[in-house]
């Protein structure tokens, strides 16, 4: 029987990557890149080949192996595994790069920041302090070749070959025998008399000074070059001079050197070092300290190295959320760091956390997730959105906080392309119907209309036919002027989704009624839309062969881009929809929010006006548009809570949004102030200047919305529409012919619903006649059936007791 000896190198769980060695400390060690066979994780492998006649070097290598295996410190090279045979030594550590190679690569990439160097030197000095003060060990080999950098940019101290005890119980320092290392020895080692008084850390602190010189100035040519600081920062020069002083007695202890450099104005007194120190001790910090730290962290991440953010900050953020109850404060820095990740890394590390966050009941977390959805929506797949995210997001439609309802509506722009048939055409439309009809906040009703106009192309053909005309028609009757404008723009932006018959019989009658609207902004947009629809109808009338081409999108399953026609034919409307939500009235940030009265639509003479009653935000049945009329307009707060957030809706459009001018969204105190919106009566506010750009030039609005003021009679201090400068070349003294017009009176309340699963919003006289005719036909049919039953009963006669009916 044959027995084969096992090869320990072959059985070793780590393997070398076949490529030239990266280098390593001067001496017999060679540094190779390697990986774990089972998982493929990258590591670094230091290899020493035992050579005959080199017993002294072999003993030094074995001592280094032992030291690295037993010393554990965050700033010392981390030992993972090792292999010792008669032919070689293998030491496996975390994946690192020699500092010299790392600095050279960073210089080629644009240079190394002082922030990174300050933290790197802080780590090396801290490692020396641990060795000298806690372990009574002298490193005896501090130089550029003994320092390594991991993937997070952390500096690690290695090169433990020549370490010895400071207490003298293990003998003196081992002989190096390598000229490249002996040039870093301090001058007092040349004095063999032993009369020089020195501390146990004196030699290592001299070598630290040499390391600092090399980091800033390159390789050290000779010891005399240390007299010239060169490129060493001025804040570090005084402390550097203490390290390379001729008197070893005055060289500071590593702990005192750190203290001196951390003093105010010192080289290591900066935000980057403070952040790293906090992250190292985050497990023992108080919750209030963690909250404050994460709130301030996002401001500093732009100045931090990318590798540091990916490999050190990100794990701490994930840990803080999973186990530290950090809450919503981790979201902003988390998504900021996520920009540095690849798509695969984002899917593995960020998305599971995001999905878990959506199930949270914390309002602050929910609103921040909605506000920053644009940063992670592209990484979410459709099954995840429909089963794990959308069911939680829809709760925001019913939230009592207006800010959350508002952000929930706006988030649908991003979620709609990924929603399935049931969620998009049934569930979402049910919530939109309730918001547009019953939400007490005018901006949210306007917001809903805008969103519906932008996602209309994703709806199914049957849902579009049932919903769009009804929804936009209702918006044109909203007491909040921007909502009426949104209705007009919604018609125009989705023009390609209507048949010519609908344009003529349903849309144009609604738009024509807006030509006498009290607000000039509504009238302007109504006239534009009417001209556009008439032009479309006229072109088809002149050339009927164009009908098929014009109506090609009407019955299409979906048309996400809405085609180029939308941008060319009604680009002004698309631009208007995109920028509409940024055009609400803005209050000066230094003044307290003012209040205003919303105009009351007059009722006919003899009909008493009912008292204003807020419409309860109760959910509707699926497929119903709730249509309770607001006889008196809901009071709208003009504070910053009613303004739109800092997310530019125009940026969410495809090709059309390029035409929209970027707007500044006010973000101050959005979340905190939105909850203070009330329905009480308001005082009149100062009328802001409204400046309109021409339709031909831009097709969008340049200034804030003018909130409607009371018309009958005007309140004191309130100007009529004719008194404003509407963007013309010069002010006009002519009165506004529409200034005395008021909104159309509402003599009859609207019905509570439009019928089961029927979104047809306009009940014309013809429809009423058809309904009456159908009712009469049913009544006639019922009478005929009763007559026939009576005839059959009379012909057969009365049935006898116990007789069985056979027919």
| Least confident window among 81-95, 318-332, 649-663 | 649-663
Find the mean pLDDT for residues 220-230.
88
CA pair distance 584, 443, nearest whole angstrom: 8
Q: How far is CA 790 from the centre of its chain?
A: 74
Find the mean pLDDT for residues 241-263.
91
CA pair distance 391, 424, nearest whole angstrom: 12
131: phi then psi, degrees, rounded to nearest 5 = -65, -45
Tokens (6 digits) for 771: 């309904």
CA pair distance 480, 446, nearest whole angstrom: 8
Beta strands (DSSP E) in 568-681 are none
Environment class of 527 (CB within 10 Å of its CB; exposed 0-12, middle 13-18, buried 19+)? middle
Q: What is the pLDDT of residue 508?
A: 94
Q: Choose among 652, 672, 671, 677: nearest CA to 662.
A: 652
How many CA atoms are closer than 13 Å to the CA of 200, on its beta-carbon side?
18
Find the mean pLDDT for residues 186-198.
71
Q: What percent of the chain has pLDDT over 70?
A: 69
Would you list the DSSP string of 251-317?
SPPHHHHHHHHTSTTSTT-SHHHHHHHHHHTGGGS-HHHHHHHHHHHHHHGGGS-HHHIIIIIHHHH
Q: What is the pLDDT of residue 177?
A: 67
Q: How far is CA 795 from the centre of its chain?
A: 81
90: phi then psi, degrees, rounded to nearest 5 = -120, 125
Please tell me which residue, 25 or 520, carries the higher pLDDT value.
Answer: 520
Find the mean pLDDT for residues 550-578.
54
Residue whose entry in the numeric block shows the structure tokens 């009330």: 678
Average pLDDT for the chain: 74
Q: Choose among 110, 94, 209: nearest CA to 149.
A: 94
Q: What is the pLDDT of residue 742?
A: 41
Q: Coil, helix or strand for 193? A: coil
Q: What is the pLDDT of residue 671?
A: 35
At residue 295, does pLDDT exceed 90? no
Q: Coil, helix or strand for 433? A: helix
At residue 307, does pLDDT exceed 50? yes
Say which DSSP state 658 is in. G
Please tell me which residue, 236 or 174, carries the higher pLDDT value.
Answer: 236
Give the pLDDT confidence of 760-775 residue by residue, as tens digits: 443 445 566 777 888 8
- CB distance 469 to 506 below 8 Å: yes
Angle between helices 481-493 and 520-542 (to 10 degrees): 20
Give the pLDDT confidence of 122-169 residue by residue, as tens digits: 999 999 999 999 999 999 889 998 999 999 999 999 988 888 888 776
CA pair distance 497, 499, nearest whole angstrom: 7
Q: What is the pLDDT of residue 558?
A: 65
What 57-66 contacts at long range (C-beta under 8 Å, 24+ apart), as own/partner pairs, is 57/27, 57/28, 60/27, 60/161, 60/162, 60/174, 61/28, 61/29, 61/89, 61/161, 62/89, 63/161, 63/163, 63/174, 64/29, 64/91, 64/159, 64/160, 64/161, 64/163, 65/89, 65/91
CA pair distance 217, 229, nearest whole angstrom: 8
What is the enclosing helix (H) or strand (E) of 82? strand 79-84
Give the pLDDT confidence of 356-376 residue by residue, as tens digits: 888 888 888 888 889 889 888
Find the mean pLDDT for residues 53-74.
88
Q: How would residue 745 be classed by pLDDT, with cut points 50, 70 and 90?
A: very low
- CB distance 417 to 454 below 8 Å: no
Residue 148: CB atoms within 10 A of its CB come to: 27
Q: Is 168 left (phi over 0), alpha (psi -120 to 50) or beta?
A: left
Paired with 43 in beta bridges are: 34, 94
Would you say how long the chain is, in residues?
807
Tokens (6 digits) for 602: 């007059």
Find the mean pLDDT for residues 500-528.
93
Find the mean pLDDT for residues 537-546.
91
Q: Choose among 653, 654, 461: nearest CA to 553.
A: 461
Q: What is the pLDDT of residue 533?
A: 93
Note the maximum CA span of the chain. 145
Tokens (6 digits) for 713: 């009679």
Paired with 81 in beta bridges are: 92
Q: What is the pLDDT of residue 238?
A: 93
Q: Choose among 529, 563, 577: nearest CA to 410.
A: 577
Q: Coil, helix or strand for 628? A: coil
Residue 473: CB atoms within 10 A of its CB come to: 22
Highest averaged pLDDT of the listed ranges 442-451, 577-586, 619-628: 442-451
Strands 164-165 and 147-150 come out as: unpaired
Give the pLDDT confidence of 653-707 residue by residue, as tens digits: 333 333 333 333 333 333 333 333 333 333 333 333 333 233 333 333 222 333 3
Where helices occur in 52-189 by DSSP H, the ranges are 55-70, 99-108, 114-129, 179-182
Q: What is the pLDDT of residue 612?
A: 36
- CB distance 199 to 248 below 8 Å: yes
Where helices occur in 639-718 by DSSP H, the ranges are 670-674
Q: How would residue 420 be classed by pLDDT, with cut points 50, 70 and 90?
A: very high
Q: What is the pLDDT of residue 56?
A: 84
CA pair distance 202, 221, nearest whole angstrom: 22
Q: How would residue 724 be classed by pLDDT, with cut points 50, 70 and 90?
A: very low
Find the mean pLDDT for residues 573-578.
43
Q: Coil, helix or strand for 233? A: coil
Tokens (6 digits) for 98: 């020699």
| Least confident window among 165-169, 268-272, 543-547, 734-738 | 734-738
Tokens (6 digits) for 514: 């807006």
Q: What is the pLDDT of residue 595?
A: 34
- CB distance 163 to 141 below 8 Å: yes
At residue 227, does pLDDT exceed 80? yes
At residue 120, does pLDDT exceed 90? yes
Q: What is the pLDDT of residue 800?
A: 54
Residues 151, 156, 162, 164: what is their CA dihedral angle, to the nearest 10 degrees? -150
Strands 14-16 and 137-138 come out as: unpaired
């Amino acid at each position: 029987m044959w027995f084969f000896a096992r090869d320990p190198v072959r059985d070793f769980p780590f393997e070398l990557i076949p490529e030239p060695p990266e280098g390593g400390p001067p001496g017999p060690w060679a540094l190779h890149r390697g990986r774990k066979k089972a998982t493929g994780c990258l590591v670094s492998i230091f290899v020493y080949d035992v050579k005959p006649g080199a017993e002294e070097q072999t003993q030094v290598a074995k001592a280094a192996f032992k030291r690295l295996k037993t010393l554990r410190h965050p700033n010392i090279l981390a030992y993972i595994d090792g292999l010792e045979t008669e032919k070689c030594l293998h030491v496996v550590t975390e994946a690192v790069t020699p500092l010299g190679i790392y600095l050279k690569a960073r210089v080629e990439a644009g240079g190394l920041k002082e922030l990174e160097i300050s933290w790197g030197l802080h780590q090396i000095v801290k490692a020396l302090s641990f060795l000298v003060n806690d372990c009574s060990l002298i490193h005896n080999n501090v130089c550029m070749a003994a320092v390594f950098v991991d993937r997070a940019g952390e500096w690690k101290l290695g090169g433990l070959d020549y370490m010895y005890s400071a207490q003298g119980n293990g003998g003196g320092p081992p002989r190096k025998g390598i000229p490249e290392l002996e040039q870093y020895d301090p001058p007092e080692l040349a004095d063999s008399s032993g009369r020089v008084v020195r501390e146990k850390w004196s030699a290592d602190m001299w070598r630290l000074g040499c390391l600092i010189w090399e980091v800033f100035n390159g390789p050290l040519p000779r010891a005399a070059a240390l007299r010239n600081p060169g490129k060493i920062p001025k804040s570090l020069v005084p402390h550097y001079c203490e390290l390379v002083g001729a008197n070893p007695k005055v060289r500071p202890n590593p702990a005192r050197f750190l203290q001196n450099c951390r003093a105010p104005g010192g080289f290591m007194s900066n935000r980057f070092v403070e952040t790293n120190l906090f992250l190292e001790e985050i497990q023992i910090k108080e919750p209030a300290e963690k909250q404050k730290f994460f709130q301030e962290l996002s401001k500093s991440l732009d100045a931090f190295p990318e590798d540091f953010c990916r490999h050190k900050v990100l794990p701490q953020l994930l840990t803080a959320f999973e186990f530290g109850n950090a809450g919503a404060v981790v979201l902003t820095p988390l998504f900021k760091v996520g920009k540095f990740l690849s798509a695969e890394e984002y899917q593995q590390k960020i998305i599971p956390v995001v999905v878990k966050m959506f199930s949270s009941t914390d309002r602050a977390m929910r609103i921040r997730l909605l506000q920053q959805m644009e940063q992670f929506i592209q990484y979410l797949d459709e099954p995840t959105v429909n089963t794990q995210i959308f069911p939680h997001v829809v709760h925001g439609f019913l939230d009592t906080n207006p800010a959350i309802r508002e952000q929930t509506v706006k988030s649908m722009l991003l979620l709609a392309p990924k929603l399935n048939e049931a969620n998009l055409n049934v569930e979402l439309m049910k919530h939109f119907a309730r918001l547009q009809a019953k939400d007490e906040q005018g901006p949210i009703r306007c917001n809903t209309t805008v969103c519906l106009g932008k996602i209309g192309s994703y709806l199914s053909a049957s849902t579009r036919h049932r919903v769009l005309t009804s929804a936009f028609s209702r918006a044109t009757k909203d007491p909040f002027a921007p909502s009426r404008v949104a209705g007009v723009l919604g018609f125009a932006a989705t023009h390609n989704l209507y048949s010519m018959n609908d344009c003529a019989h349903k849309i144009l009658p609604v738009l024509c009624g807006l030509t006498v609207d009290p607000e000039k902004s509504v009238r302007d947009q109504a006239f534009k839309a009417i001209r556009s629809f008439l032009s479309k109808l006229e072109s088809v009338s002149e050339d009927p062969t164009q009908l098929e081409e014009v109506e090609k999108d009407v019955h299409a399953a979906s048309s996400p881009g809405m085609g180029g026609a939308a941008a060319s034919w009604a680009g002004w409307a698309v631009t208007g929809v995109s920028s509409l939500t940024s055009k609400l009235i803005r209050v000066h940030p230094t003044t307290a929010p003012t209040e205003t009265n919303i105009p009351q639509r007059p009722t006919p003479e003899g009909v008493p006006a009912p008292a204003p009653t807020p419409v309860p935000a109760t959910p509707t049945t699926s497929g119903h548009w709730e249509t309770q009329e607001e006889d008196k307009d809901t009071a709208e707060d003009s504070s910053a809570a009613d303004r739109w957030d800092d997310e530019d809706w125009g940026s969410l459009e495809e090709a059309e949004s390029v035409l929209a001018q970027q707007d500044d969204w006010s973000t101050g105190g959005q979340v905190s102030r939105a909850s203070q919106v009330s329905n009480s009566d308001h005082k009149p506010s100062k009328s802001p200047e409204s400046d309109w750009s021409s339709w031909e030039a831009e097709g969008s609005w340049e200034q804030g919305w003018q909130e409607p003021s009371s018309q009958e009679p005007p309140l004191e201090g309130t100007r009529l529409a004719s008194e404003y400068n509407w963007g013309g070349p010069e002010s006009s003294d002519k009165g506004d012919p529409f200034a005395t017009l008021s909104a159309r009176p509402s003599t009859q309340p609207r019905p509570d619903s439009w019928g089961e699963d029927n979104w047809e919003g306009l009940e014309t006289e013809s429809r009423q006649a058809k309904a009456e005719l159908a009712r009469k036909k049913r009544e006639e049919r019922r009478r005929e059936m009763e007559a026939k039953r009576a005839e059959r009963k009379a012909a057969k006669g009365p049935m006898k007791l116990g007789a069985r009916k056979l027919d």
